Structure 1
Amino acid sequence: MPTRGLLLLDVDGPLNPYAARPHSRPPGYETFRRTRSGAWFGGRDARRHKGLRVWLHPGHGSLLTKLADEAELQMAWATTWLEDANRLIAPAIGLPDLPVIHYPPSDLEADGTGGRRWRLDGAWKWPSVAAYAAGRPLAWLDDEHSDPLFARARTAFDHGRSSSPTLLCHVDPSIGLQPVHLDEIRSWAAALPLA
């Protein structure tokens, strides 16, 4: 089915309100844990394991799918979770497998524990998203669009997309995805030219 543009999804911030009060799960969300070994636990098992706490709302998948269908947008992951977004996050919130935007391996660094992590400056995300979009209209749900740490990468991104419809939809990581974000994307998409 032809689309009019892209709807890019970040996990941490928009779907996982990681900055919410640490011991107060937001209403409607479920707790998951990802251990250092990569194991994933939900439900009661999430309380029995240590690891990265992830809060996910099981209704977000249907809301995002409905929005994408109505607005004729193709969803894709723009997240450091990469393929794990399809393996872990998508089933937890009710999304199908989605295309995944990849970032250059050169943007990985040692994490101090023998593992690797994405560079903290996050600039790698901007050129990868621009390359993936290839001039197509895009709406991007993320919590780091206005972070001054990424100012140079954001400026290059904006310059490169100056003739392409772009909505950088900021999501506060302490509250996560809200109806106002969906409305903002819906309004933006309504103004796109017909495909």
Structure 2
Amino acid sequence: MRPLILLDVDGPLSPWAAPRHAKPAGYVEQSLRLSRWSRRRLRIWLNPAHGPTLLALASPAKAELAWATSWEHRANRQVGPAIGLPPLPVIEFAGPQPSWKFGPVARFAAGRPLAWFDDDFDLFPEARRAFVERRAGLETELIPVDAHTGLTGEHFERLEAWLRKIDQP
């Protein structure tokens, strides 16, 4: 089964908690319209190198990238193009989630190994523990990202090491 690489936007790809005067290296400010009916704009930082880096890491492992973000389908319209990603599958989080994203992600993954970048894994520790133990022998790598810095080289190294590990016969 093809492994999954799951992406959250706020925190990993857009370091929302970074001080305004201390934009992390490589990030570029983007001004995104909240909706086509609104004049309001959202300013976020994105790193255009992240898309090509993720694609390059996923390709040799035949891993599938997917959005695991509250941005849902807007990530394909507004974030992906800004960082060089093609349209990706989207995990939908309709309605209130008693266990945050873990339930919908488990259903989407359907027994596939996965690595997941997010900044909020500690919100629901019991749900996280159950998710990681979802199936014996199923490789699951939760990669926490500090929302002050966003993705860094260390995160990509951790993903690369995990992809090498699951590629072993």
Deviations 1:58-101 (A, max 9, x none): 11110010001123211000001111110000110000000001
Gaps (5+ residues) in structure 2? none
Matched, 1:141 2:117: yes
Alignment match, 1:188: 162
Question: Deviation digits for residues 145-192 of structure 1, max 9, x if unmatched?
Answer: 2x2x31122122123234310000111111111111111111111121
Query: What CA distance in whole angstroms lies between the structure 1 residues aligned with 2:16 and 2:95?
Result: 26
**Do the aligned residues in 1 keep the contact of 2:117 with 2:144 (CA within 8 Å)?**
yes
Q: With structure 2 as the length reference, what TM-score do the two structures score?
A: 0.89
Q: Distance in 2 between matches of 1:189 and 1:63?
A: 14
Partner of 1:114: none
Structure 2 partner of 1:45: none
Residue identity in the other structure for 1:85:
A
Give the counterpart letter for 1:171 in structure 2.
Answer: V
Question: How much is the aligned-residue C-alpha RMSD, in angstroms?
Answer: 2.2
Take 1:21 and 1:73, find their aligned partners in 2: how far apart are those partners? 34
Q: 3-state SS of the aligned residue for 1:106?
A: coil
Partner of 2:81: 91
| Alignment partner, residue 76 of structure 1 | 66
Query: Does the aligned pair in 1 maintain the 2:115–2:142 contact within 8 Å?
Result: yes
* 8 Å Cα contact 1:4-1:194 kept in structure 2: no
Q: Is the 8 A contact 1:137 1:166 kept in 2?
A: yes
CA contact (8 A) 1:33 1:50 kept: no
Determine if the alignment matches structure 1 residue 106 to structure 2 residue 95: yes
Q: Secondary structure at the match of 1:69?
A: helix
Partner AA of 1:106 in structure 2: G
1:130, 1:161 within 8 Å by CA — same for their partners in 2?
Answer: no
| Paired AA for residue 29 in structure 1 | Y
Report how far residue 50 of structure 1 moved: 5.6
**Larger Rg over CA atoms:** 1
The alignment's TM-score, normalised by the length of structure 1, stands at: 0.78
Q: Distance in 2 between matches of 1:16 and 1:57?
A: 8
Q: How far did residue 31 of structure 1 move?
A: 1.1
Tell me if structure 1 keeps the 8 A contact 2:52–2:84. Answer: yes
Give yes or no for contact 1:71–1:186 (8 Å, CA) kept in 2.
no
Aligned length: 168
1:54 aligns with 2:44: yes
Aligned to 1:155: 129
8 Å contact from structure 2 (residues 32, 78) kept in 1? no
Shift of 1:6: 0.6
- Consecutive aligned runs of 4 or more in structure 1 exceeding 4 Å deviation: none
